[in-house]
Amino acid sequence: MILKPISCRMLAIDEGRQQLSLIDTATDTFHWTLDLSPYPLARDLQRLDAHRVLVGYDRGFFELDIESGRVLATCARWTDVTAVRRRPDGSTLVTGWNLDGTGGVNVLTLDRDLHLAATARRDGDYVRLMRTTPDGTCLLCTNDHILETAADLSERRRFAAPGFEHAWKAERLDDGTTLVSAGYGAFMVSFDRAGNVVHRFGDAAQVPAEVDPFFYASFEQLPNGHLLVANWQGHGPDNGHKGRQLLEFDAGRQLIGAWSAPQRISSLQGILVV
């Protein structure tokens, strides 16, 4: 299988080296690179407008100017934050573990002035990214399954597939399916509204050996229906030579493209096309 080069402009979190970069993959140009040591365990990225992006990290979040990489504002109040989302009304949802001191999974709501407006909690000791759905529910990645909950975090349904381990991200698509990256399972899967598996793709048996699926982390659906997936390769600074770091699947979920920058990136985890 011949994989084509990937052409996109993206923000990329290199977890292995704790860096955030603006990259043009077509030319392997790194426009800027930000040292994330003051912002440990950055995991989440959200485009706010033409100029700004929201970055979630262990202690909270910060806003960043896309073109320059300059940090514009920071909110650091917690430990074990795993996801942040800015809502259209200007409020911010902060997801993590033990954020309210009670030892469970929390989603906190901050108002436009970043004052605490609401707290939701459920039992649990693990959560990664959180996304809301058009129905106002929350999709929580809780290791070996995805929980869909009401705003108060009461369970509505769950999605699971054999092989989920540290499942990273779940997103509700326009057609009502739910797309999930399986973490260490190293595959992607889509579920129908009832929680049945519709399509499982991208695992080691379906891609060339050079891809070396290890941990599928963040993903981005493109306007043409294609999907970009970050193939994280492990902690530490020296993983760039392993596998291919960024994968592109077409609308039929066949792998068609790959990209790596082994001298610059160790372990690609977060991606956001800009």
For residue 3, the model assigns a pLDDT of 95
Does 2.130.10.10 match the CATH number of domain 4-273? yes
Walk along the chain (274 residues) in steps of 10 and give the mean pLDDT of each run: 94 98 98 98 98 98 98 98 97 98 97 98 97 97 98 97 98 96 98 95 97 98 96 98 98 97 98 98
pTM of this prediction exceeds 0.75: yes
**Three-class DSSP labels, the chain:** CCCEECCCEEEEEECCCCEEEEEECCCCEEEEEEECCCCCCCCEEEECCCCEEEEEECCEEEEEECCCCCEEEEEECCCCEEEEEECCCCCEEEEEECCCCCCCEEEEEECCCCCEEEEEEECCCCCCCEEECCCCCEEEECECCEEEECCCCCEEEEECCCCCECECEEEECCCCCEEEECECCCCEEEECCCCCEEEEECCHHHCCHHHCCCEEEEEEECCCCCEEEEEECCCCCCCCCCCCCEEEECCCCCEEEEECCCCCCCCEEEEEEC
d(CA 239, CA 109): 37
For residue 2, the model assigns a pLDDT of 86
d(CA 188, CA 250): 13
